[in-house]
C-alpha cells in the first residue's frame, strides 16, 4: 500500500511539473506606454501629454487659447516653446523665461519667476499695439497668476514709452497690499481740443479682493472703446471699473489709448515677481468670454484603431487599464467586437459600445477576432482636474485553427477513390474538407458526384469520391475546420494520390 501511495504521489508531482512548464496561451496587445498612443484612431477632447513611466497619458484637452484674428500676443509657456508667441508677432528681448511643468494653470507649463528685477521682455512687431505711434481700440490683457509671496511692488506686466515732447508713458500691473493694481500713465488720450492737442488721462484701477498665495487665479483687464469702459475681473467676476472719459462718467468724451512716437519699449513680464504666470494673452477686442476652466469640455473620448486578434472567436480574458482618477473625476471604458470587419472606422454603430470594468473576467462573454476600445474621460465639477489613462492592455487566448489531418490514404477503385485519415483531436473541431485536383498541390478539381473541390465530409474521417475519370491521376489533401463563425480552417495535410481504373472491382 505504501509503495502504491508513493507512486501516486510521484505521478501527481510529475504532472504538476509538466503542467507548470507548459507555455501560457495568453497573449497581450497594449496601447499607450512605448506606443505613445499612436494606436488611437480618434481623440475628441482628449490629448496625449507627458505622464507615467516617462511616456504619455491620455488627458482631457487643455483650455489653452488658440490664436485668432484679434490675438495680439499669446504666450503658453509650454516646454520647448518657452517665450514663443503663438500668434507669431512678438519676439524675446533677452533671456527666455524659466519653465515649470509642475505648477501649471493650463497646458504643459508656466513661466516661473524668482524675484529678479529684470523680468522677461518681449518686443512688439512694427504694427503691434506696443509699437511707436500705435492707436488702440478695444483691447484686453489677461493671464493666470500664481503668486508665492505677494510682496508690495512685485510686477506682473509693465511697459514704458514716451511722446515726442518726452512725456513719459507707462502701463504697470503690480501687487500692493495683497491686491492687484493696474496703472496707466499718459496712455489714454482725449480727443483734440481747439489748440490741436488732446489731454492725457492717468487711470488707476485697484482690485478689491485680497489675493491668496500659491493659488491660481485668472485676471482680465478689458477696455470697450465704444463706451470708454475699463474693467478688471478676477476669475470672471468684476472687481472694479472706470469710465475713461473727460467727465469720468458714461456720457463724457471717450479717451483713446495712443502710444507716443518717440519711444516704445518692450513689454516686460515678472519684474520682481516670485511666482508663476501662465497663458498670457493680449487681444485687440474687449474679451467678455475668457476660458476659466483648465480643461475645455465636460467630457472627452478616445477610440482605438481596430485591433486584430488574429483568429475568429478568440477568447478575450480581460482588458486591463492603468489610470488615475483624482477626486470627482472618472473614466468609463467600452468595447465593440466582431468576427468580421468591413473596413469601417467603427466596428459596429456609434451606439453599440459595451461597457466593461478593467480587470474583470470576460472569458465567457467576449469571443471575437476584431476588437475596438473606447475611453471616456470626465473632469471634476470645476474642470480643474482631469483623469489620466496611462495604458490599456488586451489579454487574450488565441483561438488557433485546428492542426491539419494526418495519415491520409487514397485507395483507387472503378471511377472512385476512397480516402481515409486520422481524426484531429480538439474540442472545437467540427469537420473536414476534402480537396482534389489533377495536378500536385492544385486542388481545383471538378466533376465528382459529390461536387467540385472542396467536398465537405462533415465529422467523418473517410470519404469515397465517385464520378472520377478512370485512367486519370488525382491528387488529394484534407483540412480540418472548427466551430467558429466564420469557421477557421487548418493548413493542408500531407498530399495523397490515386488513379481510378476499371481493373478495380
Closest CA to 346 of 373, 327, 368, 319: 373
Is residue 195 predicted with pLDDT exceeding 80?
no
Q: How far apart are CA 222 and CA 216, in angstroms?
A: 20
Is the model more confident about 383 or about 485?
A: 383
Of 19-33, 248-262, 265-279, which gets the smallest average pLDDT? 19-33
For 156-165, b/e burial (b = at least 16 CB within 10 A) is bbbbbbbbee
Question: Looking at the DSSP assignment, which residues form a beta bridge with residue 283?
Answer: 71, 140
Is residue 20 predicted with pLDDT exceeding 70?
no
Q: How many helices (H) and strands (E) does the chain have?
A: 1, 36
Domain boundaries, the chain: 25-58+297-397, 64-283, 409-498
Q: How does the average pLDDT of the chain come out, rounded?
A: 91
Q: pLDDT band at 141, cuts 50/70/90? A: very high
Is residue 72 predicted with pLDDT exceeding 60?
yes
**Residue 297: predicted pLDDT:** 82
* Alpha carbon 463 to chain centroid, angstroms: 57
- Could you tell me which residues come within 8 angstroms of residue 79 by beta carbon, excluding any fewer than 6 positions away? 99, 101, 108, 109
Q: pLDDT band at 165, cuts 50/70/90? A: low
Q: How far apart are CA 489 and CA 55, in angstroms?
A: 41
- For the residues of 286-354, what is the DSSP string, one character each? -------SSBS-S-EEEEEPPEE-SSTTEEEEEEEEEEE--TT-EEEEEEEEES---S-SSSS-TT--E
Q: Which three cell numbers stand for residue 363?
A: 472569458
**Residue 166: predicted pLDDT:** 65
- Could you tell me which residues come within 8 angstroms of residue 425 by beta carbon, excluding any fewer than 6 positions away? none
CB atoms within 10 A of CB 285: 18
Q: How far apart are CA 363 and CA 352, in angstroms?
A: 20
Is residue 13 predicted with pLDDT exceeding 80?
no
Report the relative pairing of strands 474-482 and 429-437 from DSSP bridges. Answer: antiparallel
pTM confidence score: 0.73
Question: Looking at the DSSP assignment, which residues form a beta bridge with residue 110?
Answer: 100
**Residue 351: predicted pLDDT:** 87
- For the residues of 263-303, what is the DSSP string, one character each? EE--EEE-TT-EEEEEEEEEESS-------SSBS-S-EEEE
**Residue 197: predicted pLDDT:** 56
Is residue 194 predicted with pLDDT exceeding 80?
no
**Residue 427: predicted pLDDT:** 78
**Residue 17: predicted pLDDT:** 34
Is residue 22 predicted with pLDDT exceeding 60?
no
Is residue 299 predicted with pLDDT exceeding 80?
yes
- For the residues of 362-406, what is the DSSP string, one character each? -TTT-EESEEEEEEEEE--TTS----EEEEEEEEEE--PPPPPP-
Cα torsion 259, 264, 269, 270 to 10°: value is -100
Closest CA to 405 of 489, 322, 345: 489
Q: pLDDT band at 296, cuts 50/70/90? A: confident
Average pLDDT of the residues in 66-71: 95
Is residue 450 predicted with pLDDT exceeding 90?
yes
125 Ramachandran zone, left/alpha/beta (phi>0; psi -120 to 50): beta
Share of the chain above pLDDT 90, in %: 78
409-498, what's its fold?
Answer: Immunoglobulin-like (2.60.40)
Average pLDDT of the residues in 202-212: 95
The dihedrals phi and psi of 86, each to the nearest 5 degrees, come to -65, -20
Sheet holding 496-498, edge to edge: 455-458, 429-437, 474-482, 496-498
64-283, what's its fold?
Answer: Jelly Rolls (2.60.120)
Contact 168, 154 (CB under 8 A): no
**Residue 288: predicted pLDDT:** 94
Is residue 274 predicted with pLDDT exceeding 90?
yes
Is the model more confident about 347 or about 3?
A: 347
Is residue 144 predicted with pLDDT exceeding 90?
yes
Of 120-129, 404-413, 431-440, 485-494, which gets the smallest average pLDDT? 485-494
Q: pLDDT band at 83, cuts 50/70/90? A: confident
Closest CA to 295 of 420, 233, 382: 382
Q: pLDDT band at 338, cuts 50/70/90? A: very high
Q: How far apart are CA 451 and CA 464, in angstroms?
A: 12
**Residue 21: predicted pLDDT:** 37
Which CA distances in Å does 358 have to 91, 320, 411, 492? 48, 5, 56, 40
Of 8-17, 56-65, 343-352, which gets the smallest average pLDDT? 8-17
Is the model more confident about 394 or about 344?
A: 394
* Same fold for the pair 25-58+297-397 and 64-283: yes
For 245, the 3-state DSSP assignment is strand
25-58+297-397, what's its fold?
Answer: Jelly Rolls (2.60.120)
Residue 439 exposed, middle or buried by CB count within 10 Å (0-12, 13-18, 19+): exposed
Grid-cell match 516704445, residue found: 264
Amino acid at each position: 500500500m505504501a509503495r502504491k501511495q508513493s507512486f501516486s504521489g510521484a505521478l501527481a508531482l510529475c504532472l504538476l511539473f509538466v503542467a507548470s512548464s507548459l507555455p501560457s496561451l495568453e497573449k497581450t496587445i497594449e496601447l499607450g506606454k512605448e506606443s505613445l498612443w499612436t494606436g488611437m484612431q480618434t481623440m475628441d477632447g482628449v490629448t496625449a501629454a507627458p505622464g507615467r513611466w516617462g511616456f504619455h497619458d491620455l488627458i482631457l484637452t487643455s483650455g489653452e487659447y488658440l490664436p485668432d484674428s484679434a490675438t495680439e500676443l499669446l504666450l503658453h509657456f509650454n516646454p520647448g516653446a518657452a517665450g514663443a508667441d503663438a500668434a507669431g508677432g512678438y519676439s524675446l528681448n533677452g533671456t527666455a523665461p524659466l519653465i515649470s511643468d509642475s505648477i501649471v494653470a493650463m497646458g504643459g507649463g508656466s513661466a516661473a519667476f524668482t524675484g529678479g528685477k529684470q523680468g522677461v521682455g518681449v518686443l512688439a512687431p512694427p504694427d503691434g499695439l506696443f509699437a511707436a505711434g500705435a492707436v488702440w481700440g478695444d483691447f484686453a490683457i489677461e493671464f493666470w497668476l500664481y503668486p508665492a509671496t505677494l510682496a508690495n511692488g512685485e510686477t506682473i506686466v509693465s511697459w514704458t514709452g514716451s511722446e515726442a515732447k518726452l512725456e513719459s508713458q507707462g502701463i504697470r500691473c503690480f501687487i500692493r497690499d495683497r491686491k492687484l493694481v493696474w496703472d496707466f500713465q499718459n496712455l489714454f488720450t482725449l480727443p483734440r481740443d481747439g489748440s490741436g492737442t488732446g489731454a492725457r488721462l492717468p487711470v488707476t484701477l485697484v482690485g478689491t479682493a485680497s489675493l491668496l498665495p500659491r493659488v491660481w487665479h485668472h485676471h482680465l483687464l478689458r477696455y470697450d472703446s465704444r463706451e470708454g469702459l475699463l474693467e478688471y475681473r478676477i476669475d470672471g467676476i468684476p472687481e472694479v471699473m472706470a469710465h475713461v472719459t473727460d467727465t469720468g462718467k458714461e456720457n463724457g468724451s471717450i479717451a483713446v489709448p495712443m502710444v507716443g512716437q518717440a519711444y516704445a519699449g518692450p513689454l516686460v513680464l515678472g519684474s520682481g515677481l516670485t511666482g508663476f504666470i501662465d497663458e498670457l494673452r493680449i487681444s485687440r477686442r474687449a474679451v467678455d468670454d475668457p476660458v476659466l476652466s483648465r480643461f475645455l469640455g465636460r467630457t472627452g473620448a478616445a477610440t482605438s484603431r481596430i485591433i486584430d486578434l488574429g483568429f475568429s472567436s478568440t477568447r478575450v480574458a480581460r482588458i486591463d487599464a492603468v489610470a488615475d482618477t483624482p477626486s470627482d473625476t472618472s473614466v468609463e471604458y467600452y468595447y465593440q467586437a466582431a468576427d468580421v470587419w468591413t473596413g469601417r472606422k467603427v466596428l459596429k454603430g456609434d451606439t453599440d459600445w459595451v461597457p466593461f470594468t478593467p480587470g474583470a473576467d470576460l472569458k465567457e462573454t467576449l469571443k471575437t477576432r476584431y476588437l475596438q476600445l473606447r475611453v471616456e474621460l470626465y473632469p471634476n465639477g470645476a474642470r480643474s482636474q482631469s483623469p489620466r489613462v496611462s495604458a490599456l492592455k488586451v489579454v487574450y487566448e488565441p483561438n488557433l485553427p485546428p492542426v491539419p489531418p494526418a495519415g491520409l490514404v487514397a485507395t483507387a477503385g472503378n471511377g472512385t477513390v476512397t480516402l481515409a485519415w486520422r481524426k484531429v483531436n480538439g474540442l472545437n473541431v467540427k469537420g473536414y474538407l476534402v480537396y482534389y485536383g489533377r495536378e500536385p498541390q492544385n486542388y481545383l478539381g471538378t466533376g465528382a458526384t459529390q461536387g467540385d473541390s472542396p467536398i465537405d465530409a462533415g465529422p467523418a474521417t473517410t470519404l469515397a469520391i465517385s464520378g472520377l475519370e478512370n485512367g486519370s491521376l488525382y491528387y488529394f489533401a484534407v483540412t480540418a475546420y472548427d466551430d467558429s463563425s466564420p469557421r477557421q480552417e487548418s493548413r493542408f495535410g500531407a498530399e495523397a494520390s490515386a488513379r481510378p481504373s476499371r481493373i478495380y472491382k
